[in-house]
């Protein structure tokens, strides 16, 4: 199966900052890459699919890029509600696999 | 659409984990697929499998022959059965609506999740 590796594991940032999260695949996944946000006690939320397509109602400060094996999720001007864990997931080859997550915490 | 998981929160080792996902404000008769995903500290997020309203299924090979996903169109529900459970199956289990492609799927809407603990 395809291994997904996210970095860093934890990122301490201040509100208002811009942040970039990375996701690497062990083999090419083309652009079949999704990003999710997970807050404690809440359901995961789809942010991005097809590497760069924002899901419904996702603010424009979230953007995704990349293809092949290297992907990034960028959040410009962090809001308080953005502090959460972010997961990437490939769907280019069964079984679907997830990264281990990057936790954004308040600095 | 809204999804809600239900079922026992405690299952004995070697037993069967059985969960229900109730789909509301939408129909499982739609063109979506319907998935189960779990989240545990040890394994992270793990896709378990999914089903189409027509009955077609895809399963994670890591679960081998332990998993069955089924659906009841009349009740607008789908189900997870996982047999021969061990402590490693302790996790928060989510049901989700997925966008399916021939190579894989991603998860557009998720339930709130249910914690299932495997313990005697």
| Euclidean distance between CA atoms B61 and B53, whole angstroms | 21
Q: Which of A44, A45, A91 sits opposite B105 (nearest CB)?
A: A91
Cross-sheet strand order for the sheet of B67-72: B2-6, B17-24, B77-82, B67-72
Tokens 């984990």 belong to which residue? B17
Which residues, 6+ apart, have CB-to-CB distance to A1 below 8 Å?
Answer: A93, A95, A97, B61, B62
Q: For residue B120, is pLDDT > 90?
A: yes
Q: How many CB pairs under 8 A join A and B?
A: 63
Residue B24's Cα: distance from chain center in Å? 16
Query: Is the peptide bond preceding residue A8 cis, with omega within 30 degrees of 0?
Result: yes
| Euclidean distance between CA atoms B105 and A88, whole angstroms | 13
Mean pLDDT of B90-112: 95
Nearest CA in chain B to A94: B104
What's residue A84's pLDDT?
Answer: 96
Residue A43 to chain B, least CA–CA distance (Å): 5
Please tell me if residue B110 touches chain A, with a CB cutoff of 8 Å. yes
Q: How many Cβ atoms from other residues are within 10 Å of residue A99's Cβ?
A: 26
Please tell me if residue B100 touches chain A, with a CB cutoff of 8 Å. no
Mean pLDDT of A5-18: 95
Residue B19 to chain A, least CA–CA distance (Å): 17
What's residue B63's pLDDT?
Answer: 93
Residue B64's Cα: distance from chain center in Å? 15
Substitution target in A96, A101, A102 with the highest count of B β-carbons within 10 Å is A96
Cβ-count burial of A105 within 10 angstroms (0-12 exposed, 13-18 middle, 19+ buried)? exposed
Question: In b/e form, how buried is each residue of B18-28, taking b as 16+ CB within 10 angstroms?
Answer: ebbbebeeeeb
Nearest CA in chain B to A39: B112
Q: For residue B64, is pLDDT > 80?
A: no
Please tell me if residue B72 touches chain A, with a CB cutoff of 8 Å. no
Band of residue B97 on the pLDDT scale cut at 50, 70, 90: very high
Tens digit of each residue's pLDDT (9 = 90 or more) over A25-46: 999 999 999 999 999 889 999 9
What's residue A107's pLDDT?
Answer: 87
Mean pLDDT over the full length of chain A: 96
What's residue B101's pLDDT?
Answer: 87
């Amino acid at each position: 199966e395809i291994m997904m590796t996210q970095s860093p594991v934890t990122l301490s940032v201040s509100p208002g900052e811009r942040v970039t999260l990375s996701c690497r695949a062990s083999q090419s996944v083309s652009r079949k890459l999704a990003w999710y946000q997970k807050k404690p006690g809440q359901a995961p939320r789809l942010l991005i699919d097809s590497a760069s397509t924002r899901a419904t109602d996702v603010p424009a400060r979230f953007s995704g890029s990349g293809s092949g094996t290297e992907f990034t999720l960028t959040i410009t001007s962090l809001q308080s509600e953005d502090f959460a864990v972010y997961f990437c997931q490939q769907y280019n080859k069964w079984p679907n696999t997830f990264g281990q997550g990057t936790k954004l915490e308040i600095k | 659409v809204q999804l809600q998981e239900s079922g026992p929160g405690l299952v004995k080792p070697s037993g069967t984990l059985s969960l229900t996902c109730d789909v509301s404000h939408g129909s499982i008769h739609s063109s979506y697929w319907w998935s189960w995903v779990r989240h545990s500290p040890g394994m992270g997020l793990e896709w378990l499998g999914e089903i189409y309203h027509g009955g077609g299924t895809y399963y994670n090979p890591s679960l081998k022959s332990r998993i069955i996903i089924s659906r009841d169109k009349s009740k607008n529900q789908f189900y997870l059965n996982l047999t021969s459970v061990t402590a490693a199956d302790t996790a928060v289990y989510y049901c989700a609506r997925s966008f399916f492609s021939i190579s894989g799927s991603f998860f557009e809407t998720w339930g709130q999740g249910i914690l299932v603990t495997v313990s005697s």
